[in-house]
Amino acid sequence: MSTYRIRQGDTLSALASRFRTSVSELARINNIANPDLIYAGNTLRIPGHARNDSFEPARGGTRGGTRGPGGSGRSGGAGDTGQVAGSQGAGGAIRATAAMHKLASAGRAAALSMGGYNSQGLCATGVSRAIQNAFGFKVWGNGNQIDNNLPRDKFKQVDMSLEEALKIPGLVLTWEKTPSRLGSIYGHTAITTGDGRSSVSDFIERNTLGASGRSGLKIFMPTM
């Protein structure tokens, strides 16, 4: 038995594959009630490894310690945002912060002030307006450029499915291409509302999961 310090972006399924074990076994020996929830900075017990095994430490590491059920007992540290990790390869998610709730609220307000429930073809304008209203700075670019222009000291890219992302408020979604003529050139961008279905930009899209033909999805979370 050995230990591993969980890092930002880790998922239980990925760690299980890395250490040649199973999600259920890691959850069992670490008393994790919800395999979809692990925290950066916490210590994970790894079965089948000698104590002298060398695992990479977390960057900017914080104190480890025994985890409670469901991965509670998170330790603080710069950049530790409480990573939620998906099991069974479903991808990760994020515990919503105050900044994320603020962005989701600003996004909805921007959408209602622009197109309501009807697209105006100005998705990047809506997202940029929401970011400016929430955080006080503007991000330029069209739908498939915003991802490159988000300041990396204020946003970080996360790895998860669209289905999981839509359950979390205040994430920025960008697609390289959509099926429409303009979308094939400029892509699309939106902000999640956290209801598991909708996202907002220059309008409120009731069923983002049902929007077919989009490609090149990237997901970003505020780290402020």
Q: What is the pLDDT of residue 66?
A: 29
**Is residue 136 within 8 Å of residue 204, measured between CB atoms?**
no
Query: Is residue 109 scored above 90 in pLDDT?
Result: yes
Query: Is residue 3 scored above 70 in pLDDT?
Result: yes
Domain range summary for the chain, segments of one domain joined by +: 1-91, 98-222
Does the domain at 98-222 match CATH 3.40.50.300? Answer given as no
Q: How far apart are CA 42 and CA 26, in angstroms?
A: 14
Q: To 10 degrees, the CA torsion angle through 8, 10, 11, 15?
A: -160
Which residue would you say has higher pLDDT here, 199 or 43? 199
Residue 57's CB: how many other CB atoms inside 10 A? 11
Q: What is the pLDDT of residue 27?
A: 85
Question: Which of 72-86, 91-105, 154-168 ranks highest by mean pLDDT?
Answer: 154-168
Q: What is the pLDDT of residue 94?
A: 64
Tell me the pLDDT tens digit for each residue of 8-23.
778 888 888 888 888 8
Indicate the pLDDT class of residue 75, thresholds 50, 70 and 90: very low
Pick the range with the lowest mean pLDDT from 44-53, 55-64, 103-112. 55-64
Which residue would you say has higher pLDDT here, 105 or 90? 105
Does the domain at 1-91 match CATH 3.40.190.10? Answer given as no
Query: Is residue 139 scored above 90 in pLDDT?
Result: yes
Of all residues in the chain, what percent carry a pLDDT higher than 90?
48
Tell me the pLDDT tens digit for each residue of 21-42.
888 888 888 888 777 778 777 8
Q: What is the pLDDT of residue 49?
A: 52
**Is residue 77 within 8 Å of residue 5, measured between CB atoms?**
no
Q: Of the candidates 215, 205, 211, 182, which has an alpha carbon nearest to the alpha carbon of residue 127? A: 205
Q: Work out whether the CA dihedral 17, 23, 28, 31 comes out positive or negative.
A: positive
Global pTM reads 0.60
Q: What is the pLDDT of residue 78?
A: 30
Q: What is the pLDDT of residue 93?
A: 45
Q: Work out whether the CA dihedral 22, 24, 28, 32 comes out positive or negative.
A: positive
Look up residue 163 and give its two tokens. 């289905």
